[in-house]
Amino acid sequence: MRHTIKPQPFEGNGARSHQTKSKSASRKHAGSSRQLEQLSRLYYDAMDLFNQSALAASFEDMLNVKNRPRITRLVSLGLGSLLDSKDQQRRIKQLVIFMAIASHLTLPMSDESSVTLYAQDPTFSAIDEAFLNSLGITVLKTPSSSDLGDAGQMINEETLVYSPFLTIATYKLLFSQSLHTSTKSLSGSKIPILVSDDLNALKLKWDKRTSEHRDVETLIKGARSGNYRRRAVNGEGFWAESDRPFPLAIYWRQAATLQKRGESCASAMGFPRENQAMSIQV
C-alpha cells in the first residue's frame, strides 16, 4: 500500500506575519499583566503601611471636620508615571495619599451626587492609565507639565486639587487670577481645598537671589490677603529617607467672616502672616 503524503497548507508571508504579530501581542499582554500585578502589589503594601502611620491619623483629623467644603471632585496633578524608576516608591505612596484623602470626602446618603477622581500627568503610560482606571480614577490629558490641560476644565468650586509635585510655571497657572486660555471657563471660581507642596518650605529650596525663590515668594505674598488657611501636614511612619517627598500643606478656603476674624486674632497674638489665610484664585 502506497503511503500518501497529505498536502500541507501553504504558509505564505501573510500567514507567517500573522503568527508573528499574534506572538508579539501575547508577549506584550503578558508583560502588561505582570506590570499591573506589580503595581497593585506595591500599592496595597503602601496602603497598609499608610493606614498604620501617624500621617494617616493626621489627614483624618484635618479632613473629618464639620465645616469642610462640599467636595465632589478630586484632581491629582503632577503624580508622575508609576512604572519602575528611582521615584516609583515615592509616587506610589503619593497615590496612596490621594486615595486616602478621597476616602474621607464621602458625601451624605441624601446627596445624589458622587465623588469622582481624576489624575493628570503628561508622563502617564498606557500601563499607568490602566492601573489608575482600575482604582476608579479617570485620566485627563495635557500636552506638557506646564499646561493645566483637561484639568483646567474639570476644576471648579467643589474640587479638591492634589498636587504632590508641580513646576513653578504650573503653580503660577493654578494660582493666577488672569486665566490661561484652557481654563477660561473657570473665571471667578475658587478651589476649596488644595493639598500641595508647602509653599513656605518651597521658597527655601532656592537662594534668595534666584528667580525661583522670588516667584514662590510672590505667590505667597499675593495670596496673604485672601481667605485660605495653611496647615502643614505632619506625621511619621510612612515615608522612608529614600522616598521622602517635599513637605506638604493643606490650603483650606475659609468663609469671609472667619477670615477677617482670623486675621484680627493673628495680628493681636503676633502670629506670622504666612500662616494666615491664603487666596487661590483659579
Cell of 115: 465623588
Closest C-alpha among 183, 187, 194 to residue 223: 194
Residue 179's pLDDT band (cuts 50, 70, 90) = very low
> Could you count the other beta carbons within 10 Å of the beta carbon of residue 11?
10
**So what's the pLDDT on residue 4?**
47
Mean predicted confidence (pLDDT) in 204-228: 81
**Rounded distance, CA 183 to CA 172, Å?**
13
Residue 7: count other Cβ atoms within 10 Å of its Cβ: 6
The confidence score (pLDDT) of residue 213 equals: 92
- More confident site: 202 or 272: 202
Contacts of 239 (CB under 8 A, 6+ apart): 55, 93, 245
pLDDT at residue 116 tops 90: yes
β-sheet bridge partners, residue 116: 73
Secondary structure (3-state) at 4 = coil
Say which residue, 220 or 248, is predicted with more confidence.
Answer: 248
Mean confidence (pLDDT) of the chain: 79
32-253 topology per CATH = Rossmann fold (3.40.50)
Q: What is the pTM of this model?
A: 0.77
Give the pLDDT score at 20.
Answer: 52
More confident residue, 95 or 254: 95
231, 182 in Cβ contact below 8 A? no
Residues 40 and 59: their CA atoms lie apart, in Å, by 23
Strand partners, 139: 119
Give yes or no for residue 77 having a pLDDT over 90.
yes
What is the per-residue pLDDT for 164?
86
The dihedral built from the CA positions of residue 136, 142, 145 and 147, taken in this order, carries a sign that is: negative
Q: What is the structure's pLDDT at 274?
A: 41
Chain segment 119-164, per-residue pLDDT in tens = 999 999 999 999 999 999 999 999 888 888 999 889 998 999 999 8
3-55 pLDDT tens trace:
444 444 545 555 555 555 555 555 556 668 999 999 999 999 999 999 999 99
Asked if pLDDT for residue 222 goes beyond 50, the answer is yes
What pLDDT was estimated at residue 35? 94
**Helices 54-63, 13-51: crossing angle, 10 deg rounding:** 80
State the alpha helices, DSSP H only, in 115-187.
126-134, 151-154, 168-175
pLDDT of 47? 98
Has residue 194 got a pLDDT over 80? Answer: yes
228-281 per-position pLDDT tens digit: 788 999 999 999 988 888 899 998 877 654 444 444 434 433 334 444 434 444
